[in-house]
Amino acid sequence: MLGENHSIMHEFPEYQDIIVKLCQTDEAFAKDTKHYNALDKEIRELELRGAPIDDNAMHQLKHDRAELKDSLFHRLSTSV
């Protein structure tokens, strides 16, 4: 669905406390979370405006977001 929110807190609500803790104590995790959320926001805005970029560029943004999401999830699931 276009314009859907995929922020880290929205995607992993069961890890909310761990996300907050890691963002406060792990600089790399905080940086990657911020980058992921910025990518998600950019994608949502582009989708809602009719994606005024070419398909390859949009695909690359979504690919980058997915790779970052996988990395963040791995770090979350091993922090439990």
Cα 2–chain centre separation: 16
- Number of structural domains in the chain: 1
Domain span at 45:
8-77
pLDDT value of position 1: 56
Is residue 72 a contact partner of residue 32, using CB atoms and an 8 Å limit? yes
Structural domain includes residue 36 = yes
d(CA 32, CA 37): 9
**Per-position b or e across 34-50, b if 16+ CB within 10 A of its CB:** eebbebbeebbebeeee
Maximum average pLDDT range among 2-6, 36-40, 75-79:
36-40
- Predicted TM-score (pTM) of this structure: 0.89
Q: Tell me the pLDDT tens digit for each residue of 12-65.
A: 999 999 999 999 999 999 999 999 999 999 999 888 887 678 889 999 999 999
Structural domain includes residue 35 = yes
Structural domain includes residue 2 = no
